[in-house]
Amino acid sequence: MTEPSTNSTAPKLAVPRLLTGQKAIVTGANSGIGRGVALALGEAGADVVVNYVVDDAAAQAVVDQLQAFGVKAMKIKADVSDEDQVVAMFKQMIEAFGTVDILVANAGLQRDSAFKDMTLAQWNKVIGVNLTGQFLCAREAVREFSRRGVVPSISCAAGKIICMSSVHQEIPWAGHANYASSKGGIKQLMESLAQEVAPLKIRVNAIAPGAIRTPINTSAWSTPEAYKALMTLVPYGRIGEPEDIARAAVWLASDQSDYVVGTTLFVDGGMTLYPGFATGG
């Protein structure tokens, strides 16, 4: 048997042009999953706002790549946990692009700690960015979607929100109580909001990624030993790539998924299938 490697067997697939003329904002789009999603939305024909809070050069590089697809792109620095900055960001986007059709509320971080040592600052930081940040961004998006309504030449829906959740909205995670709580909160935020705004033709859904190769979890995949241990949790036998999440986001943002409302799409290689029970139980 060959030694598990950190090389992915993820397919390289073209992104269909399902989003021509739509205006999208992706939070935390300077790296990782957010970067992958922003690029795929642009490849699918959307104009894209790249939100970021650190690393201006990385955000600019995403903007440059997006412009190479022939779409409009701009970066906006804003901390999603800060109400004034979020309100100003949406105002700036609407002034520049005219409106908003798609929000991907993606910005998220980890501040891991054993529970007894977890500081209030670590707790508040994670809840502030991961959960309150999604509330603030979704609220501004809903305000714009409901002001504008459906434009049939653009989309069947008045707007689409995709909340970036995690397998940890379901799987408890020792040493990460703040992060798992934020993702459990996103589940109820997404479903309650989806129920409330569906009559306005606004579709709210979530993606729950499993282990994706990004900077947030480098320690889980960057050595052969770590990768091998990770694979005991992934029945499909490979790590996820940002493109795996990005293609799901394009579909959820497009009219191809028009009847999908309030759903969490798990993109996790089977991580939520209780892989330990394949041989135990």
- Chain residues that interact with ligand BGC, rule: CB under 6 A: 110, 166-168, 210-211, 216-217, 220
CB closer to ligand BGC, 110 vs 205: 110
Which residue is associated with the tokens 């692009």?
Answer: 97
Question: DSSP letters along 201-238, please?
Answer: TEEEEEEEE-SBSSGGGGGGTSSHHHHHHHHTT-TT-S
For residue 115 the two structure tokens come to: 């529970």
CB of 266 to ligand BGC, least distance (A): 11
**How many CB atoms are located within 10 Å of the residue 274 CB?**
12
Counting Cα atoms < 13 Å in the Cβ hemisphere of 222 gives: 6
CB of 160 to ligand BGC, least distance (A): 22
How many whole angstroms separate alpha carbon 108 and alpha carbon 126?
8
Is residue 266 within a helix (H) or strand (E), and if so which, with residue range?
strand 264-267
CB closer to ligand BGC, 168 vs 203: 168
CB of 243 to ligand BGC, least distance (A): 17
CB of 90 to ligand BGC, least distance (A): 26
Which residue is associated with the tokens 């798609």?
Answer: 102
CB closer to ligand BGC, 198 vs 226: 226
How many whole angstroms separate alpha carbon 107 and alpha carbon 277?
33
Which residue numbers are catalytic?
179
Contact between 150 and 156 (Cβ < 8 Å): yes
CB of 53 to ligand BGC, least distance (A): 17
CB of 227 to ligand BGC, least distance (A): 12
**How many angstroms separate the Cα of 103 from the Cα of each of 149, 176, 183, 215, 281?**
15, 27, 18, 22, 41
CB closer to ligand BGC, 22 vs 169: 169
CB closer to ligand BGC, 36 vs 159: 36
DSSP 16: P
**How many angstroms separate the Cα of 221 from the Cα of each of 7, 59, 149, 252, 269?**
10, 24, 44, 28, 15
CB closer to ligand BGC, 101 vs 268: 268
